[in-house]
Amino acid sequence: MPLGRVFHITCGTSRPVVRSGNGPCMEKGVLRFFFDYGAGGCLWAGDAATLYRLGVGPVDATLFDLKGRISKPPCLALSQMVRSLRDQLDSEHSCYLNPLYQPDPSLWSQSLCDRFNTDVERLLLLLRQEIGDNFHIVDEQTRYVEDADLNEYLAKNPSLSKMNEVVIPTVL
């Protein structure tokens, strides 16, 4: 449903609402912000009305078929800058778990966790600037810290080391 000029108003409810031009009041949608491994997006419907309007899955992701063709465009249009940062963080997030055995400590150093967390904050701010007039964005993304057991784990596994940067695997 395309919206015209959006104004923040209250229509007899304690929740934020938006109005399109002189049209009827419509409650502001709710989006949940978090990365899920390999999902390709970071925004998920956060209430029944938003789910009805935008559907399931990451609503900011483009879905592709097996031949690489777009099978479902994203429900939300985001700027190229925001999409690029989201895609970078989505790829990095997929590398957080231990690559050998996922329940073991993550190999991320505190400096890598800090950089990732800072970029997450920047993405969240950009998303709120771009679509915050129409959606309340609920931050559910975990902020990472270096695993307390990492040094002990690395001492037992000398072939491994702390990661100070994410290296995205590529296929040649």
Q: What are the pLDDT digits (tens) for 48-67?
A: 999 999 999 999 999 899 99
Q: Is 135 a domain residue?
A: yes
In a domain, 40, yes or no: yes
**Does residue 102 lie within any of the structural domains?**
yes
* Global model pTM greater than 0.75: yes
**Parts of the chain with a pLDDT under 50:** 1-24
| Containing structural domain, residue 42 | 6-156
For residue 18, give the 3-state DSSP assignment: strand
Tell me what pLDDT residue 38 has.
Answer: 86
Question: Residue 152 falls within a domain, yes or no?
Answer: yes
pLDDT in the model for residue 27: 77
pLDDT given at position 22: 44
Tell which residue, 117, 101, 118, has the closest CA to residue 157: 101
Structurally, the chain folds into a number of domains equal to 1
Q: Does residue 57 sit within a domain?
A: yes
Q: What is the pLDDT of residue 21?
A: 44
Nearest to 16 by CA among 169, 143, 140, 134: 134
Alpha-carbon torsion 62, 63, 65, 70, what sign? negative
Range list of H helices, the chain: 48-54, 80-93, 110-131, 150-156
Residue 81 lies in a domain: yes
Look up residue 90 and give its amino acid.
D
d(CA 88, CA 55): 24
Between CA 55 and CA 37 the distance in angstroms is 19
In a domain, 74, yes or no: yes
Span 64-86, pLDDT tens digits? 999 999 999 999 999 999 999 99
CA distances from residue 99 to 6, 16, 58, 78 in whole angstroms, order as listed: 45, 43, 24, 31
